[in-house]
Structure 1
Amino acid sequence: MQDDIPAETTEYASPPCFMHELSPEYRVEALRWDGWSGVPRWRKAERKRPLDGRLALTQHDREARSSRIASMLDLTISDYSGRIVGTYWPFRGEPDLRNWGTQVVERGGRIALPVVIQKGWPLEYRIWTPGDPLERGVCNILVPAQGPCVQPDIVIAPVVGFDEAHYRLGYGGGLFDRTLAIMRRKPLIIGVGYAQSRIPTIYPQPHDIPMDVVLTD
């Protein structure tokens, strides 16, 4: 999702460590010893496995998994009437929920897509109806060319990784958490991703906001 598209901003004077070559159990203990200063570096290394895994999926497999996630969303939300659902345009092998978004509109709901306004700023969600014009935004992702800015009642958040406490591992820019932090009322936050993206913990920091539920294939 484009909420976390900007690269990691933390820089290190020393070369990267080899934690990605160690067992998950050892990495957990090593990070506890290293403390908070090691979290951004660890997260950057940890993203590679789930990203490589989902990009390796065939188109058929990705479509089947996306369909299962869409079915789980219907069971979780059930009533879309009058509700604004913040969804997304798929990026780098994320579950493709575009057809599901169209069905939300057909069932009386509205969908909104996130737009990156400026690096370091919260996202802006804009109402979009199938057929409305789209334009290329950050990382060439399609975003609404126009439309009112709204706050979603439900936010669908694609994950790179997720942990048992429902914290989300994104792309590293922090836009998702920054956006949720300024919302006037808390939306229902639903993470979506592939089951292979589960990790023991992302080592949540004070600015990280947990999702209410995570749905997988």
Structure 2
Amino acid sequence: MTPRELKAEMRRERLALRDAIAPEERAEKSLAMVRHAADAVRLQPGEIVSGFLPIRSEADIRPLMTRLGERGARLCVPVILDKQTIVFRELIDGAQLVASGFGTIGPGPDAPELDPDLMLVPLSAFDRTGHRIGYGAGYYDRAIDRLWQKGLDPQLIGIAFDCQEVPSVPAEPHDVRLDAILTESGLQIFSPEIG
């Protein structure tokens, strides 16, 4: 199998395991993530943190984002512009959310676009060296590359449940390695800038 085929198989398998988690259990596991990371992640007031609003069976990191906001972070979430591009729009209390593609919602076009300093990244599978498998569309890889082209280097924390771990992700040259992974079991740090 090619690396692409292996990733597709791992994606299907791990997302099926994630989908099988009962909603109540998923909520408890999501809250465990808050306990592990809400105060452990290095964060300066005013830094921009991108999170995401959960779709399908993703972890619900809204409580974590709330806590990071209380610590002084400016919050944003991804919004899909087209088949190639996501931008990160500021998320503020009371802002109207609109459908933004791929089953997601986010702030409308009037919200400011921000460049994240720290990104909470959804994924379908990960390994213990910081490699991830996304959902297959490459949105985050391209968004991170655009930030690098601007001279920025956001810290990347993958968000997943333990069941999404695989022994080894078949990494390709274009793949972006995570600085940490957060699951219900804890925050595993690969880069000293995170914790």
TM-score class, shorter: 0.7 to 0.9
Amino acid at match of 2:11: R
Structure 1 residues without counterparts, runs of 5 or longer:
1-30, 32-37
CA deviation after TM superposition for structure 1 residue 106, in Å: 2.6
Q: Distance between the aligned counterparts of 1:56 and 1:113, measured in 2?
A: 26
Secondary structure at the residue paired with 1:76? coil
2:116 equivalent to 1:139:
no
Q: Tell me how many residue pairs correspond in the alignment.
A: 180
Amino acid at match of 2:12: K
Q: Kindly indicate whether the alpha-carbon contact (under 8 Å) linking 1:189 and 1:211 is maintained by their aligned counterparts in 2.
A: yes
Which of 112, 118, 123 pairs up with 1:159? 123
Q: What's 2:193 paired with?
A: none
Q: What's 2:133 paired with?
A: 169
Q: Distance between the aligned counterparts of 2:168 and 2:144, measured in 1?
A: 21
Q: Distance between the aligned counterparts of 2:15 and 2:133, measured in 1?
A: 11
2:158 equivalent to 1:194:
no
Q: Kindly indicate whether the alpha-carbon contact (under 8 Å) linking 1:47 and 1:161 is maintained by their aligned counterparts in 2.
A: yes
Which of 30, 37, 43 pairs up with 1:73? 37
Q: What's 2:82 paired with?
A: 118
CA deviation after TM superposition for structure 1 residue 80, in Å: 5.0
Q: What's 2:180 paired with?
A: 213
Structure 2 residues without counterparts, runs of 5 or longer:
185-195
Identity of aligned residues (%): 27
CA deviation after TM superposition for structure 1 residue 78, in Å: 4.8
2:59 equivalent to 1:95:
yes
Q: Distance between the aligned counterparts of 1:74 and 1:99, measured in 2?
A: 9
Q: What's 2:11 paired with?
A: 47
Which of 85, 92, 101 pairs up with 1:129? 92
Q: Distance between the aligned counterparts of 1:105 and 1:130, measured in 2?
A: 11
Secondary structure at the residue paired with 1:150? coil
Q: Kindly indicate whether the alpha-carbon contact (under 8 Å) linking 1:102 and 1:130 is maintained by their aligned counterparts in 2.
A: no
Q: Which moved more, 1:109-118 or 1:40-49?
A: 40-49
| Aligned CA-pair RMSD | 1.4
Q: What's 1:17 paired with?
A: none
CA deviation after TM superposition for structure 1 residue 193, in Å: 0.6
Q: Provide runs of 4+ in structure 1 moved above 3 Å.
A: none
Larger radius of gyration: 1
Amino acid at match of 1:130: D
- TM-score using structure 1 length: 0.78
Q: Distance between the aligned counterparts of 1:58 and 1:82, measured in 2?
A: 36
Which has the larger strand fraction?
Answer: 2
Amino acid at match of 2:82: Q
Amino acid at match of 2:69: V
1:146-205 Cα offsets, whole Å, 9 max, x none, are: 311111110001221001221111111111111111102101110111111111222111
